[in-house]
């Protein structure tokens, strides 16, 4: 089953009289249960591609279907709802609220979904358990290592049981040992079936490191906005 389908996607940024084409005729399909790495140097178009797949930006031209749905005609409130339910984001910079516990950081997407308090806390606790942090529920980000903070971020991405996890340079701010641990968690999530799905999580990851891309089952290379 195809979850992500891009057909002849172009993205052009215009500032005054200056025009820059970040993506050029991208054709891409990602099936349910895949682990795909998108690799390329800085400026290759990786982040632009990730933003379009994550419904944070729209293509200038071309078509993007997510789980069979044409996203081009959807309004922002509909896009926000799909992002919240179907996509889990993991960022290089963790993006945790500094004065908030690990449990409450993970529960944030559930607040937007108006999930009741008790159910919210239970789902957040289970998500932290999945990434090996059941003993850090009440810890704040400044009490956690970089690797632990990224694990909290992964738990937050998992808490709504999304169709896809989008990981943007997930090891970029980590030492090599912590980076390997994070990739091990993502690999396990991709390989592990659940009560609701025979396949593990579909993961799309961008990275500039070949050693990190090797954890994926398929590697896509971007150069100057084009797929190689």
**CA 185 to each of CA 97, 154, 177, 195: distance values in angstroms, whole numbers, following the listed order:** 22, 9, 13, 19
The model's confidence at residue 35, banded by pLDDT at 50, 70 and 90, is very high
Would you say residue 188 has pLDDT above 80? yes
Nearest to 10 by CA among 50, 79, 58: 58
CA–CA separation, 24 vs 8, rounded Å? 8
Q: 26-35, 70-79, 143-152 — which is least confidently predicted? A: 70-79
Domain ranges of the chain: 2-96+158-227
Report percent pLDDT > 90 for the chain. 86
List, for residues 11-23, the tens digit of each pLDDT value: 999 988 899 999 9
Would you say residue 1 has pLDDT above 80? yes
Nearest to 221 by CA among 44, 19, 81, 48: 44
Q: Which helix (H) or strand (E) holds 57?
A: none
What's the pLDDT score for residue 196?
A: 62
At 68, list the tokens: 């069979």
Mean pLDDT of the chain: 94
List, for residues 102-134, the tens digit of each pLDDT value: 999 999 999 887 889 999 999 999 999 999 999
Q: What is the CA radius of gyration of the chain?
A: 17
- Is the Cβ–Cβ distance between 205 and 170 less than 8 Å? yes
Nearest to 148 by CA among 136, 160, 138: 136
What's the pLDDT score for residue 198?
A: 75
List, for residues 69-83, the tens digit of each pLDDT value: 999 889 999 999 899
Give me the CATH topology for the region 2-96+158-227.
Rossmann fold (3.40.50)
Alpha helix locations (H) across 38-114? 46-53, 76-86, 102-112
- The reported pTM is 0.92
């Amino acid at each position: 089953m195809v979850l992500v389908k891009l057909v002849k996607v172009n993205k052009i940024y215009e500032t005054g009289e200056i025009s820059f084409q970040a993506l050029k005729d991208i054709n891409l399909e990602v099936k349910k249960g895949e682990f795909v790495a998108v690799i390329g140097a800085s400026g290759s178009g990786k982040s632009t591609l990730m933003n379009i797949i994550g419904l944070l930006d729209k293509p200038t031209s071309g078509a993007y279907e997510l789980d069979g749905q044409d996203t081009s005609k959807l309004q922002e409130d509909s896009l926000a709802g799909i992002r919240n339910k179907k996509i889990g984001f993991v960022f290089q910079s963790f993006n945790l609220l500094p004065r908030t516990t690990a449990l409450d950081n993970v529960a944030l997407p559930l607040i937007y979904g108006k999930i009741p308090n008790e159910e919210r806390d239970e789902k957040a606790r289970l998500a932290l358990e999945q990434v090996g942090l059941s003993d850090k529920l009440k810890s704040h980000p400044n009490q956690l290592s970089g690797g632990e903070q990224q694990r909290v971020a992964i738990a937050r991405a998992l808490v709504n049981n999304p169709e896809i996890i989008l990981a943007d340079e997930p090891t970029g701010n980590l030492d090599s040992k912590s980076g390997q641990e994070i990739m091990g968690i993502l690999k396990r999530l991709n390989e592990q079936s659940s009560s609701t799905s025979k396949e593990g999580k579909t993961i799309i990851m961008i990275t500039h490191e070949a050693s990190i891309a090797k954890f994926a089952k398929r590697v896509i290379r971007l150069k100057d906005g084009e797929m190689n």
